[in-house]
Amino acid sequence: MPIQGSVRARTAREVRSWDMAADVVVVGFGGAGVGAAVEAASRGAETLVLERAGGPGGASGLSGGYVYAGGGTSLQKACGFEDTPENMYNFLVAATGPNPNTDKLRLYCEESVSYFDWLVSMGVPYAQKFYSEPTWQPPGEYGLVYSGGENAYPWNEIATPAPRAHIAHMPGFGGSGRGSGEAGPGSVVLKHLIAAAEKLNVRHHYDMRVDRLVEADDGRIVGVVAARYGEEVTVRARRGVVLAAGGFMNNDDMKRQHAPHLLGANLVGTEGDDGRAIRMAQSVGAAVQLMDKAECAFGLHAPLLVRSMIVNLQGQRFVNEDTYPGRVGQAILMRQNRRAFAVFDLESHEVAVPAGTTARRAEPTWVAETLAELEQLAGIAEGGLESSVGYYNKYAAEGRDPMFRKNPKWLKPLHAPFGAIDIGSDVFSSFSCFTLGGLVTPPSGEVIDVDGDPIPGLYAAGRTVSGIPASGYLSGSSLGDSIFFGRKAGISAAAPA
Amino acid sequence: MPIQGSVRARTAREVRSWDMAADVVVVGFGGAGVGAAVEAASRGAETLVLERAGGPGGASGLSGGYVYAGGGTSLQKACGFEDTPENMYNFLVAATGPNPNTDKLRLYCEESVSYFDWLVSMGVPYAQKFYSEPTWQPPGEYGLVYSGGENAYPWNEIATPAPRAHIAHMPGFGGSGRGSGEAGPGSVVLKHLIAAAEKLNVRHHYDMRVDRLVEADDGRIVGVVAARYGEEVTVRARRGVVLAAGGFMNNDDMKRQHAPHLLGANLVGTEGDDGRAIRMAQSVGAAVQLMDKAECAFGLHAPLLVRSMIVNLQGQRFVNEDTYPGRVGQAILMRQNRRAFAVFDLESHEVAVPAGTTARRAEPTWVAETLAELEQLAGIAEGGLESSVGYYNKYAAEGRDPMFRKNPKWLKPLHAPFGAIDIGSDVFSSFSCFTLGGLVTPPSGEVIDVDGDPIPGLYAAGRTVSGIPASGYLSGSSLGDSIFFGRKAGISAAAPA
């Protein structure tokens, strides 16, 4: 297990001298870390951020820049949508369960309007334009989109649909599947927050990896031990340490222990997502929760996805294809062992992928004149696809989908010739995941131990903890949660001990 | 979270005097604890068992008394079955994954024949008779049965089928569903092992609940703090502490954190399955793994199950009904949110449940002349059941099941009138579960910390750890694992420090 030496806390007695000191020491300079730093510093706490990478941003900086917000934000209103904190809460309780984090959801929904205003006040730009098509990520000139299946079954029957992904403005970005590699709208959000932190005199060190906590005899966390270019650096935290160092998608041992279904999938995030901060806290008795949970994106062109039948190895459907694509990915991951197929007819394919589309992952793996042939090619159980398509076509002709309630506008009987895309096979290893489980915190950010008590001096936020996307994920819920509860942790850590 | 006060380890410096002492202190007197005690004592270690209940046995003593064993045991041979350690291993690797515990499986399979001989040498009686019908638990005069779907798809294509549940002889027990309430064959196994422990001068205290570990400055576990009738008792362990105190099915907070899908299900086990030992070890930095995994029994009469179609709320099948019933329970739990239906025709019902059968849970919840009517009664998606039955009947008429490969002997087209049993609804809350996740140990039983290193002086076994039934469960794999690796932990703990 040890990747880079022990994560075991050092006792304060073992630390002979401190190389640095601050009131609040923040571990990680992504969305959660910068949120914590800004709030701690603006409360007068001397704040120091230690980041193991060569620069700031973390996974948040690489993200699509969705912040899940609602309850009637200025952007929702400008785009003509009504929403209330209660309506948003009702949706999130249903959509992030089982075991939604209701305390965090309550606060998040109540403060969502002012949270969004705060982002705007930090300088994050938003285009006041709603994108209505199914997508993972709309073109850069749009600022609002559905990102959690709010307008699809079963959520549309639980709460009034409202789009809540608020996307930082980045002209020219996206539009054909997810932007990958290139810096995305997440970098726009982070740029403004980092500028705010610097204006508040937040100090930071890059290339400094925090390796261990330092624990006083009474159990209080009083600092950290870090490594910079192989040299050990001791850093005293007068008031508190905030762990904001990401999840564990980049640690195969932890995946094997907690989420073996993620082994072999691609990483969403950074090299630093090795779970070290989670384990550092565990070494002093911190609890963890929902460590099996994850989100997985799979690179299927959304306009094709919504017109397809997504089926398993038996040829059965298991999800409405017009829900948020990330939910389809979760269903394939958690319930189908990462094997599924998108089945469509070539007529729909032409509509979804018109000539000249540069969409990735939109070409059929197989084309066939009959479903029996397609079953053979794909290794689907004999007759299974034929049976499913028979059912689907019968009701699609009536504009209905009694089994999964896909919106009638996407329902059309499938006719030969057929095509299918192999999702999740070795050939099409397109699952890119990040972990949702982690440390246990109340909304105020204290790290909770196995007794259910806070560990004095220790705070955490972002994907180092289990947050808003507890079990179910919506795009924007992780970045939104990270910055929001990073801020809360920063406020708590800055309070004089 | 605290149920009965803190689980935080006490430092050795805080312990002023020891009320008791032994070389090896075993926490819990169930299958794992008695295995540890017998081996530690027979190696000359002064051994003390602390049990929180008023008597020995734990969940093992309440169990059906299946020990999963194979590779060519004397009982397998007497019943005419061939098996090898390699064949058993191949099956278990596939059937207990994803992420099977290959190190433990390798040892378990290699030593399985001698393990069974040891149980016999301890005096555990076995009837040399194989039961061939589908069942949760055969009548008491049988000693060997299939308990993991070894003879069903897909396992029958991975390894040569051999029955491996070795059932302690208890005339008159079982035969009509699971024995519940009454003492079962598990008590027979435990009785003989406890007698062996007493013969070896193992001391024990009942009504003594271990609350915390005691940790020396160098991190070594040197004892425990227990409570007896409200009084604190300190117990020194000269060589080692073995945690063998069960799982966490009786702790709602831990289920909420790790396995929310288990909330509301019934308990298989004892009041003591509150995860306290797991948390005690976590407080000193122990790692945990696969905390979401569980086994669930549901009380459906097996001869009816095998003749039914098990379908979900969409009317779709999702498992072969002739696999081990516990696997059907796991599939309903983990992949269908605990909602499913057994659908059959009344002709099959008559065969499976002949007049005079005292089987519980065999009466139809609904009876209907048409599938459409049954869909309405059960709340199954319109047309979903009709579509599934159409597919099933078409191939059943040919003696085939291309979708799930149920054995042809159970395949018969369903004809009106139909019946269905509602599994897992509030009305039929029949899921009884226990947890499979826990501490991380190598085959030799040392408790591993978040660095991947053993915690000196601390050992564990049974459902306090993640064992042979890592993700997938077979009956007999938990009791078999508990006693077997309890013995290994006892051997390790007895070695002079």
Contact yes or no for B53/B271 (Cβ under 8 A): yes
Q: Of A395, A432, A406, A398, which Cα lies nearest the Cα of A306?
A: A406
3-state secondary structure B290-325: CCCCEEEEECCCHHHHCCCEEECCCCCECCCCCCCH
CATH no. for residue A404? 3.90.700.10
pLDDT at residue A181 in the model? 54
Please tell me whether residues A280 and A314 are part of one structural domain: no
3-state secondary structure chain B: CCCCCCCCCEEHHHCCCCCEEEEEEEECCCHHHHHHHHHHHHCCCCEEEECCCCCCCHHHHHCCCEEECCCCCHHHHHCCCCCCHHHHHHHHHHHCCCCCCHHHHHHHHHCHHHHHHHHHHCCCCECCCEECCCCCCCCCCCCEECCCCCCCCCHHHCCCCCCCEEEECCCCCCCCCCCCCCCCHHHHHHHHHHHHHHHCCCEEECCEEEEEEEECCCCCEEEEEEEECCEEEEEEEEEEEEECCCCCCCCHHHHHHHCHHHCCCEECCCCCCCCHHHHHHHCCCECEECCCCEEEEECCCHHHHCCCEEECCCCCECCCCCCCHHHHHHHHHHHCCCCEEEEEEHHHHHHHCCCCCCCCCCCCCEEECCHHHHHHHHCCCCCHHHHHHHHHHHHHCCCCCCCCCCCHHHCCCCCCCEEEEEECCCCCCCEEEEECCEECCCCCCEEEECCCCEEEEEEECHHHECCCCCCCCCCCHHHHHHHHHHHHHHHHHHCCC
State yes or no: pLDDT of B176 exceeds 60.
Answer: no
Domain that holds residue B276: 1-294+437-497
Is some CB atom of chain B closer than 8 A to the CB atom of A339? no
pLDDT at residue B4 in the model? 66
Q: Give the number of C-alpha atoms closer than 13 A to the C-alpha of residue A300, restricted to the C-beta side.
A: 37
Is some CB atom of chain A closer than 8 A to the CB atom of B260? yes
What whole-number distance in Å separates Cα of residue B315 and Cα of residue A388? 12
Please state, for a pLDDT cut of 90, what percent of chain A lies above it.
83
Tell me which chain B residues have a C-beta less than 8 angstroms from the C-beta of A375.
none
**Average pLDDT, rounded, for chain B:** 93
What distance in Å separates residue B168's CA from the closest CA in chain A? 33
Please name the member of B282, B315, B383 whose beta carbon is closest to the beta carbon of A450.
B282
Q: In what order do the strands lie in the sheet with A130-131?
A: A66-68, A165-167, A144-145, A130-131
Say if strands B340-345 and B309-311 run parallel, antiparallel, or are unpaired. Answer: antiparallel
Tell me which chain B residues have a C-beta less than 8 angstroms from the C-beta of A284.
285
Tell me which chain B residues have a C-beta less than 8 angstroms from the C-beta of A312.
none
ipTM value for the complex: 0.93
Please tell me whether residues B286 and B374 are part of one structural domain: no
Please name the member of B7, B258, B381 whose beta carbon is closest to the beta carbon of A451.
B7
Is some CB atom of chain B closer than 8 A to the CB atom of A452? yes
**A395:B383 CB<8 A:** yes
Tell me which chain A residues have a C-beta less than 8 angstroms from the C-beta of B220.
none
Please tell me whether residues B305 and B288 are part of one structural domain: no
What distance in Å separates residue B319's CA from the closest CA in chain A? 10
Last residue of a domain, one of B379, B402, B429: B429
Segment B213-220 mean pLDDT: 96
Contact yes or no for A292/A249 (Cβ under 8 A): no
B360 pLDDT band, cuts 50/70/90, is low
Mind listing the pLDDT tens digit for each residue in B388-408?
Answer: 999 999 999 999 999 999 999
Please tell me whether residues B188 and B331 are part of one structural domain: no
Is some CB atom of chain B closer than 8 A to the CB atom of A195? no
Please tell me whether residues A129 and A191 are part of one structural domain: yes
Segment A95-103 mean pLDDT: 93
Mind listing the pLDDT tens digit for each residue in A346-366?
Answer: 999 999 998 887 766 788 999
**B451:A6 CB<8 A:** yes
Mind listing the pLDDT tens digit for each residue in A147-176?
Answer: 999 999 999 999 999 999 999 999 888 754
Tell me which chain A residues have a C-beta less than 8 angstroms from the C-beta of B101.
none
pLDDT at residue A359 in the model? 66
What distance in Å separates residue B256's CA from the closest CA in chain A? 6
Q: What are phi and psi of B45, to 5 degrees?
A: -85, 135
**A451:B1 CB<8 A:** yes
CATH no. for residue A240? 3.50.50.60
Mind listing the pLDDT tens digit for each residue in A241-278?
Answer: 999 999 999 999 999 999 999 998 889 999 999 999 99
Residue of B nearest to A98 (CA): B260
Segment A311-331 mean pLDDT: 93
Q: Pull the structure tokens for residue A109.
A: 């929904």
Please tell me whether residues A243 and A334 are part of one structural domain: no
pLDDT at residue A139 in the model? 86
Stated pTM of the model: 0.95
Q: Measured between alpha carbons, how far is residue B487 from residues A198, B348, B445, B482, B493 in Å?
A: 59, 46, 9, 8, 10
Is some CB atom of chain A closer than 8 A to the CB atom of B251? no
For chain B positions 8-67, those within 8 Å of chain A (CB to CB) are 8
**A452:B316 CB<8 A:** no
pLDDT at residue B182 in the model? 63
Please tell me whether residues A344 and A196 are part of one structural domain: no
Amino acid identity for residue A388 in this structure: S
pLDDT at residue A356 in the model? 80
Q: What are phi and psi of A484, to 5 degrees?
A: -60, -55
**B1:A261 CB<8 A:** no
Is some CB atom of chain A closer than 8 A to the CB atom of B181? no
Please tell me whether residues A362 and A398 are part of one structural domain: yes
Please tell me whether residues A286 and A324 are part of one structural domain: no
pLDDT at residue B264 in the model? 87
Segment A446-472 mean pLDDT: 97
> Structural domain tally of chain A?
2
Last residue of a domain, one of B406, B429, B452: B429
**A260:B98 CB<8 A:** yes
Cis status, amide bond into B154, omega within 30 of 0? yes
Residue of A nearest to B7 (CA): A451
User: Mutate which of A11, A252, A391 to test chain B, going by most B C-beta atoms within 10 A?
Assistant: A391
pLDDT at residue A496 in the model? 82
Segment A380-386 mean pLDDT: 98
State yes or no: pLDDT of B178 exceeds 60.
Answer: no
Please tell me whether residues A342 and A306 are part of one structural domain: yes
Q: Of B105, B118, B187, B171, which Cα lies nearest the Cα of B474?
A: B105
User: Mutate which of B274, B288, B450 to test chain A, going by most A C-beta atoms within 10 A?
Assistant: B450
Last residue of a domain, one of A378, A413, A429: A429
pLDDT at residue A134 in the model? 85
Contact yes or no for A285/A449 (Cβ under 8 A): yes
Please name the member of B261, B383, B403 whose beta carbon is closest to the beta carbon of A402.
B383
Please tell me whether residues A256 and A361 are part of one structural domain: no
State yes or no: pLDDT of A220 exceeds 50.
Answer: yes
What distance in Å separates residue A391's CA from the closest CA in chain B? 7
User: Mutate which of A257, A330, A332, A439 to test chain B, going by most B C-beta atoms within 10 A?
Assistant: A257
Tell me which chain A residues have a C-beta less than 8 angstroms from the C-beta of B257.
287-290, 440
Please tell me whether residues A246 and A110 are part of one structural domain: yes
Residue of B nearest to A382 (CA): B402
Is some CB atom of chain B closer than 8 A to the CB atom of A356? no
